[in-house]
Structure 1
Amino acid sequence: MSMIKRRVLYEEVAEIIARMIYSSELEPGQWIDEMQLCADLGISRTPLREALKVLASDGLVELITRRGAYVKTISPDELDELFPIVALLEGFCAQLAAENITSEELVKLKHIHSNLERHAAAKDIVLYYEENILFHDALKDISQNSRLQRLTLDLSRVIRLARQQQLKLGARLQQSLQEHRDILSAIEAKDGESANQAMSLHIDNQYAALKNQLVGADKNEMD
């Protein structure tokens, strides 16, 4: 009989804080009020500080001596380094998914996509983004390449800090939805090359939207 692995408290706390970051409840650059979090979560400082160390190692939090913990802010230079790598890896994930997907997996992927359609129609960016994560994670699972899954997971933790922000830009939500339609269509056709190209374009468009947002923010600060 297999043993059930029990999660320690700081891991649960780290997951809660990560969700707060991904949902923009904690914004990039924001100072994390440890005392308030302890009160809100009903925990002591010890598991919170262990959780913050985990989040720092994942690239979500920055720990500054004598100043505390801050939500990580991704710089334009970091975007320049990360997004081309993510486009390559996730494009390959989509290609493998198209080549390996089963009928049952396709049904599940279509269900996730239907939720994307519903949340986009409601203009609910938070729920759309949560479903978007499920869509991308499903493709990683379907790819059947465990090493590729680990590589993309490590990068996606950091990329998620920026990805949701680009959905708030004008028509980007509908563009993202159409890109997901194209990815799904290629996977349903079992066209690995087209799936790779569609996913790479999707990531490249995210990158361009974020770069434009950051350039605009910097210009406003200068003005």
Structure 2
Amino acid sequence: MRAVPNSLHDDVADRLRSRIFEGALHAGAFIDEAALCTEWAISRTPLREALKVLAAEGLVRHEPRRGSFVSEVTEQDLDEIFPVIALLEGRCAFEATRKATAADIAALDTLHDSLQAHAAARRIPDYYAANYSIHEAIITLADNRWLAQVIADLRKILKLARLQQLHAPGRLEQSLGEHLAVFAAIRAGDAEAADAAMRKHLMRQRDALRELARHGKSRLLA
């Protein structure tokens, strides 16, 4: 059976989303619809449909008679988002622990070996990549599409903020310890401990970002 191709507005949404995440369109930037239509050789209709998609995701805001702008994430937004995503990812860790096989544990072990190696060498971009892979692996193991969907939506907002919490003093070592605590609980089959450790890990991220904000360094480009 042939896959149904994406609609034009989905493709436009993907392109616009990429520009936002890459920083070509920064937080608060005006989205020049006429310029984009000319550049991409499209009509206003698919672009406006794409903007509706991004507005629903929280990445774009529309102001009557002014147009569309890239959303800005405030400290209050982060204070409200992190407890929610901590609960969701904690539940993922809980469900992943109950469902993980020996092969799954072995795969997580390999990922954590990589995480430790990057931390020891202070390769922060590689650490971020390994960190992301571990979170994705746990979400996949949880096998709960509703959790995965809501987490993905919230991650888009956090990605929009372009936060780099590992730049806080001592945060790299702290983050590694938190990850190892989550993994130890999963390996031991203790779902409640895995849940608690994951929630602690996410909330510690917020603490680190708050500390950076006090020093004017909370938003550093990746």
Q: TM-score, normalised by structure 1?
A: 0.77
Measure, in 1, the Cα distance between the counterparts of 2:74 and 2:89. 21
Distance 1:62 1:173, change over 3 A: farther
- 1:29 Cα shift? 2.8
Flag structure 1 segments of 5+ consecutive residues without an equivalent. 219-223
Mapping for residues 1-223 of structure 1, pairs under 5 Å: 2-32=1-31, 34=33, 42-44=40-42, 46=44, 47-117=46-116, 119-120=118-119, 121=121, 123-125=123-125, 127-162=126-161, 164-217=163-216
Tell me whether 194-203 or 184-193 shows the greater mean CA deviation: 184-193
The 8 Å contact of residues 94 and 195 in structure 1, kept in 2 or not, is answered as: yes
- 1:80 Cα shift? 2.3
Measure, in 1, the Cα distance between the counterparts of 2:199 and 2:173. 17
Structure 1 match to 2:220 = none
Distance 1:15 1:169, change over 3 A: farther
- 1:25 Cα shift? 4.9
Deviations along 1:167-206, one digit per CA (max 9) or x if unpaired, are: 3334333432332222222222222122112111111111
Distance 1:27 1:122, change over 3 A: farther
Measure, in 2, the Cα distance between the counterparts of 1:21 and 1:110. 34
- 1:116 Cα shift? 3.9
Distance 1:25 1:135, change over 3 A: farther
- 1:24 Cα shift? 4.4
What's the secondary structure of 1:164's corresponding residue?
coil
The 8 Å contact of residues 32 and 69 in structure 1, kept in 2 or not, is answered as: yes
The 8 Å contact of residues 9 and 49 in structure 2, kept in 1 or not, is answered as: yes
Deviations along 1:82-103, one digit per CA (max 9) or x if unpaired, are: 2112111111111111121123
Measure, in 1, the Cα distance between the counterparts of 2:196 and 2:162. 19
Distance 1:32 1:154, change over 3 A: same
What's the secondary structure of 1:62's corresponding residue?
strand
Q: Which amino acid aligns with 1:167?
A: L
Measure, in 2, the Cα distance between the counterparts of 1:61 and 1:97. 33
The 8 Å contact of residues 162 and 210 in structure 1, kept in 2 or not, is answered as: no
Q: TM-score, normalised by structure 2?
A: 0.77
Measure, in 2, the Cα distance between the counterparts of 1:192 and 1:26. 41
Deviations along 1:202-221, one digit per CA (max 9) or x if unpaired, are: 11111112223334449xxx
Tell me whether 142-151 or 192-201 shows the greater mean CA deviation: 142-151
